[in-house]
Amino acid sequence: MKRKWMKLMVVVVLVGGAAGTAWVVRAQHGEHAPAYERVALERIRMEKTIEATAVVEPRNRIEIMPPLDGHIDEVLVDEGQEVKKGEIVAWMSSTERSTLLDAARARGTEMLEKWEDAYKATSLIAPLDGTIISRDTEPGQTVTTQDSVLVLSDRLVVSTQVDETDIGNVKVGQKVRITLDAYRNEEISGAVSRIAYEASTVNNVTIYEVQLEPDAIPDCMKSGMTATVAFILAEADDVLTLPVGAVGGEGDRRFVLVEHTGTDDPPERLPVQIGLSSGGRVEIQSGLQGDEVVVKTEFAVKHGKDGGSSPFVQAPPAGKRP
């Protein structure tokens, strides 16, 4: 048909069950059509995502332990401090050195200095570059070779579990968005760094461990924090969208009903091509222009058919279109 030089309005007719019947009856009896709420097509950024809960943890968590039994003389670092591989982080004395120095101390300062110089303290060394995330001992504390003096992390990562039904949509290098539960207003971008090859079973569900690396580590991120992660499966910028309930369906086809303002012509079915669907809105890839106006029936407004994750409404039976 020739396109008329006037604005079009999309008429959302809910034709499933009683809603479709009500429309037909009104049309047959010449009743006034229900009022409409006009909503223009909106351009937004859309994403298709998979969400999962996660926890922040060190990629490599290393406990720095004494090489021998004794006591701690001095701890040179604090929690949150960055250290380099090979850096001395603490000094300690063996049990034998402590006993010897106690005896020398009783004989005077000169004797103590002599044995301190002859019997050196033992250093504890950072095995790699990283951040001290836990300081477990203080000077004077007795320790054994099984005790942790300091805990070192090379980098914080985010670990999560993905159900086997979704793991096919997750790839190494895929972009993710991380939101810490303690800081809901701060989003952290990152990427998938590792996907486990072997599955495990949790509550009779088969899952795969997935590790994510933030692009940058904010100061607020700490080991043990819980988070929500969104795996970005698809995204599109500046796309035309409608409320989900504004699009009808018949098989694989999707359509809206439009009416010509300023005329008494009945609504016209207009096919549309849809794309991403998220947040109660669906992308309109073709079939409508940005200056056309969307309307919803009273039924749609009352029952909330334009939002949420409800499926598309079905088309009216043949011969019963308005």
Q: How far apart are the C-alpha atoms of 233 and 314, rounded to whole Å? A: 27
Q: Residue 312 corresponds to which amino acid?
A: F
How far from 194 is each of 130, 165, 178, 319, CA to CA, in Å? Answer: 20, 18, 16, 56
Buried b (16+ CB within 10 A) or exposed e, 108-145: eeeebeeebeeeebeebebbeebbbbebebeeeeebee
The residue ranges of every structural domain in the chain are: 36-46+237-297, 49-56+155-236, 66-148
Reported as a single tens digit per residue, the pLDDT across 239-295 is 888 888 778 788 888 887 776 667 676 667 778 888 888 778 888 888 877 555 555
CB neighbours (10 Å) of residue 151? 19
pLDDT tens, position by position, 151-173: 999 889 999 999 999 999 999 99
- Domain 36-46+237-297 part of CATH 2.40.420.20: yes
- Which of 100, 101, 223, 204 has its CA nearest to residue 159? 223
* Per-residue pLDDT, 292: 58
Q: CATH topology for 66-148?
A: OB fold (Dihydrolipoamide Acetyltransferase, E2P) (2.40.50)
Q: Which class is 49-56+155-236 in CATH?
A: mainly beta
Local confidence pLDDT in tens for the 322 residues of the chain: 444 333 444 544 433 332 332 233 334 444 555 445 566 678 888 888 899 999 999 999 999 999 888 889 899 999 989 999 999 999 988 877 777 777 667 777 776 666 666 567 889 999 999 999 999 999 989 999 999 999 999 889 999 999 999 999 999 999 999 999 999 999 999 999 999 999 999 999 999 999 999 999 998 999 999 999 999 998 888 888 888 877 878 888 888 777 666 767 666 777 888 888 877 888 888 887 755 555 544 444 444 444 433 333 444 333 333 3
Report the predicted TM-score, pTM, of the whole model to 2 decimal places: 0.63
Distance (Å, rounded) from C-alpha 96 to C-alpha 69?
9
Please tell me the predicted confidence (pLDDT) of residue 162. Answer: 95
Residues in CB range of 70: below 8 A, 6 or more apart:
92, 93, 94, 95, 97, 98, 122, 142, 143
